[in-house]
């Protein structure tokens, strides 16, 4: 009897001390092997979706998940600028209009043109603030300024909502069927497919003014504050591809939901391509993904 009691006590003590033998965890089966690597074909990229297109025709040549609507972050601003420049194409005086920054524009978070409430700046200058440093504040300011001109597009009366309605109407007119805009800057979940962004980039780059803006690496301009004082601001382009000869823009974008995005255009030996990479795993990888796609596509086209 004493032996039984002693055994029970020792067992209890061992359990208390964590000395009992736990059952080994059940091993998970190994995943099946994927097919062997293919020799040739497009490079492996980190992007969730991508497309390569002929820059002279806009035709998509190759892609991966190119039809999937994906978050697009600040590549949204391609459409924002496209709409402003379409107005300017109809009336050149649009570029000379002076825009006054509102409190609402000043409070928009994220990448910024660093303008403040009450600052006055010409539309032609603020386009640099939109497209180079990727000013979310500039996108909001443009939507406020030009939104009232598009109230006939929908029932929205708020200027920003009217501008966004025009963005969606323009996307529809361009047959961008996998695109939906909720804001003018990309902070919320604007979506588009890689092939839709090819379409937009192709049409936008037909405008020499747009092409000039997105190729500019640095721009300085003078703005006037609410007290009438002038100051100089400097905007640097976020697109690191512009540090390499042959690349011509177009727009970066980064949010948590979208990952790192890049819509770009490049020419080698007269062969112009548009490349879209959405959802790359890091800022650096969007450039690596894009450059690998360019090199492979140029090599493939050189064979023909």
Q: Catalytic residues, which ones? A: 74, 77, 134
The dihedral through the CA atoms of 217, 238, 111, 96 has a sign that is positive
Among 62, 46, 63, CA closest to 259: 46
For residue 39, count CB atoms less than 10 angstroms from its CB and return exposed for 0-12, middle for 13-18, buried for 19 or more.
Answer: exposed
38 annotated to bind ligand: no
**Cβ atoms of 180 and 69 closer than 8 Å:** yes
- From residue 172, give the alpha-carbon distance in Å to each of 7, 79, 196, 276: 80, 12, 10, 20
- From residue 262, give the alpha-carbon distance in Å to each of 110, 127, 138, 193, 244: 17, 19, 20, 13, 15
DSSP 32: P
Q: Which two tokens stand for residue 230?
A: 């002038």
DSSP 175: T
> Residue 95 and residue 91: Cα distance in Å, rounded?
8
3-state secondary structure of 54: strand
Residue with tokens 């603030």: 129
Q: Which residue ranges make up the annotated binding site for substrate?
A: 251
């Amino acid at each position: 009897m004493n032996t039984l009691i002693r055994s029970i006590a020792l067992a209890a003590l061992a359990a208390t001390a964590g000395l009992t033998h736990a059952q080994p965890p059940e091993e998970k089966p190994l995943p099946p092997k994927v097919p062997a690597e293919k020799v040739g074909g497009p490079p492996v990229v980190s992007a969730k979706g991508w497309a390569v297109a002929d820059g002279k025709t806009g035709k998509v040549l190759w892609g991966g998940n190119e039809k999937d609507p994906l978050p697009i972050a600040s590549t949204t601003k391609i459409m924002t600028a496209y709409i402003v420049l379409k107005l300017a194409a109809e009336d050149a005086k649009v570029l000379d209009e002076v825009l006054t920054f509102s409190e609402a524009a000043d409070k928009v978070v994220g990448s910024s043109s660093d303008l403040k409430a009450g600052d006055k700046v010409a539309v032609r200058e603020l386009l640099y603030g939109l497209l180079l440093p990727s000013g979310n504040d500039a996108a909001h300011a443009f939507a406020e300024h030009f939104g009232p001109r598009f109230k006939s597009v929908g029932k929205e009366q708020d200027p920003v909502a009217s501008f966004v309605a025009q963005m969606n109407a323009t996307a529809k007119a361009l047959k961008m069927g996998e695109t939906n805009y909720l804001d003018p800057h990309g902070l919320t979940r604007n979506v588009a497919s890689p092939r839709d962004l090819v379409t937009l980039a192709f049409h936008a780059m037909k405008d020499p003014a747009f092409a000039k803006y997105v190729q500019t690496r640095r721009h300085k301009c003078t703005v006037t504050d609410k007290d009438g004082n002038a100051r100089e601001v400097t905007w640097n382009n976020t697109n690191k591809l512009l540090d390499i000869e042959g690349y011509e823009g177009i727009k970066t974008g980064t949010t948590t939901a979208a990952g790192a995005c890049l819509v770009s255009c490049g020419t080698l030996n007269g062969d112009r391509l548009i490349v879209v990479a959405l959802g790359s795993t890091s800022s650096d990888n969007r450039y690596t993904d894009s450059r690998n796609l360019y090199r492979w596509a140029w090599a493939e086209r050189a064979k023909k």
